[in-house]
Structure formats: C-alpha cells, structure tokens
Amino acid sequence: MDFEKEEMFDAPLSIQGVFNVLWGSKKIIMIVSSFFAIFSVFYSLSLENMYTSSALVKLTDSEQNNAVANMTSQFGGLASLAGVSLPSGSGDKSKYVIETLKSRDFLRHLLTFEDVTINLMASKKFDEDTKEIIYDDNVYDSKLKKWKKRRGKQQLEPTYIEIFEKVYSSDLKVDQDVQSGFISISFEHISPTYAESFLTMVIEELNNVVRQIDLKKSTDALDYLQNQLLITRENEIRNSINDLIKTQLRTKMLANVSDNYLIENISEPFIPETKSGPFRSIICILITISGFLLSCLFVICRYLYINPKKLYPTS
C-alpha cells in the first residue's frame, strides 16, 4: 500500500482531478471567499482617510552660492590648513538637504515644538465638521494632557527614535529630480490641515537649523581668522585670509537677512482636498482573492490527506 502511494505521489497532479475536487467543494470555497469579502469591506471602511501635502523646493539662488564656489576653488587648500571649512557645491548641498530632512536629529528638533509628538503618534480620527484631530484615548489623555502607560514601555511618552521608525520615516517623503535638481517634499497625515502645517514647519525649520549651524561656524571661523591675521606678516597670506574673512562675513550677513536661507519654495505646501489613501477597492479585491486562494489551497490539502486518488491520474 505504501509503495502504491509513493508511486502515485511521484506522478504529476491531474488538472482535471484538481478541477473536479475544487468544483465539488465549491460551497466551501464560496463561503470562505464571501467571509473574506465581507471582512475586507468592514476592514477597509475602518481605515481613516489619509491626506498628502507636498511642496517643490530648490536651493536658494544667492550671491553666497557663487561667492562661496569661487572661494572654495581659490582658497580651499588654505582654508583647510587654517582649520576653516568652506561649503561645497550645489550638488552636495542638495544631498545635504535631503539627508538632513530624513535624519533622526532633525526630527528630534521638530519634536520640541508644541503638539508635534501628539499629532504624529496619538492621532486617531479627523473631524470633517470641526476640522479638529481626535486623539486615541488609549494612547493619550486629551483632558489631562498625559500619555497613557504602554505595554512593555517604561517611558510613557514615545521617544524620538520610536516616532522616527513608526511614523516619520514612512510618512515624510523626500525626492530629487535628477534633471532639474528640484527637491519634492511630501507629508501624509489623517488631517489635511496638519499635513500642510507640518510640511510648512519642516521647510521653515530646515532653513532655521542650517542658518544657526552656519552662523556658529562663521563666528568660530572669523575668530580664528582674525587671530591669525594678527600674527601673520606675509602679505600674500594676509590677503588670502582677508578674502576668507569677507566670505564668512557674507555668510553671516545672508544668514541674518534671508528667511529662505538654504531652500525656497517653487510650489508651496497646500491643504489637500482629496484623500491620497487608502485605496479601499484594491484592498477589498486583494483580500477577497486571498480568501479564494486560501480556500482552494485548503480543499486541495484536505483531499491530499483524505482521498489523494482524486487528484492524481488513474493508471
């Protein structure tokens, strides 16, 4: 008997036999598929609408870019010897913008602003009538303004690393067009108004953060260069140091007077009027198809165990 089974399993499955088995179990397949279809409808309806605000930005065109590029080519070697770092070209600046926006440290800065952590981690629904965000009571107590205790977590408030992994890294998208060099930034949220306001804050704070970094670097560089100027006697080196000082002073001037210090909007963030997801019809179709395939697989496995002869050709 065992020999007959081994010999039978070595043969390929009969397509006619599989079809007959599935057709004979069509009621089971229809019931399971219907259950998955009904479940998919309720599941898709339980998902909140998501809205995506986007913006198109470019590196700021200013005198600083041209001046710094010239200074970098002329005095880069001297600056490195003096311990002064000059900014690189626009290509590196674009990469710098993208990687800064995607970084954990930048998110950590954004979380210092009011309600950012709450809106990213505790948002549950968006009230279309009042235009307000409804928070999840299991996560955050809106009345007491306190975070609820979470299973397996000692710290009540989510950490910036947790927010980065769960929300920020997936909901904020940053891409660059290779040909134009323009950078597109988008953010997805259940609230269309917050999607726009958060993206606006991201762009503004990127300029502010980079401005403060460059101001500090310029101040430190000026202190060093002015000290070197006092102890240097060679006219050629003194002229080069003076040129570097002019560059750092120009950087400080532009940082103090320009709102769009690093990037500026080509297309500003907007409040989306239509949802960007979820695609409920696709969800329903995929879940229903999955139910159909699982029910077919269950029927075939069941007959392989109970009555395998129906699935294999008879000799």
- Cα 131 off chain centre by: 24
CATH assignment of 51-267, given 3.30.300, 1.20.950, 3.30.1890, 3.40.50?
3.30.1890
Which residue bears the tokens 């700021």?
A: 60
Beta bridge partners, 265, equal 57
Q: What is the pLDDT of residue 71?
A: 46
Q: Name the residue type at position 51.
A: Y
Residue pLDDT, tens place only, 158-168: 999 999 999 99
Give percent of the chain with pLDDT exceeding 90.
41
Residue pLDDT, tens place only, 54-82: 999 999 865 445 444 444 444 444 445 44
Is pTM, for the whole model, over 0.85? no
Give percent of the chain with pLDDT exceeding 70.
80
Measured between alpha carbons, how far is 168 from 103 in angstroms, rounded to an integer? 10
Q: What is the pLDDT of residue 81?
A: 45
Tell me: pLDDT of 208 over 80.
yes
Beta bridge partners, 264, equal 58
Give the number of other Cβ atoms within 10 Å of residue 232's Cβ. 14
* Sequence spans of domains, the chain: 2-47+281-311, 51-267
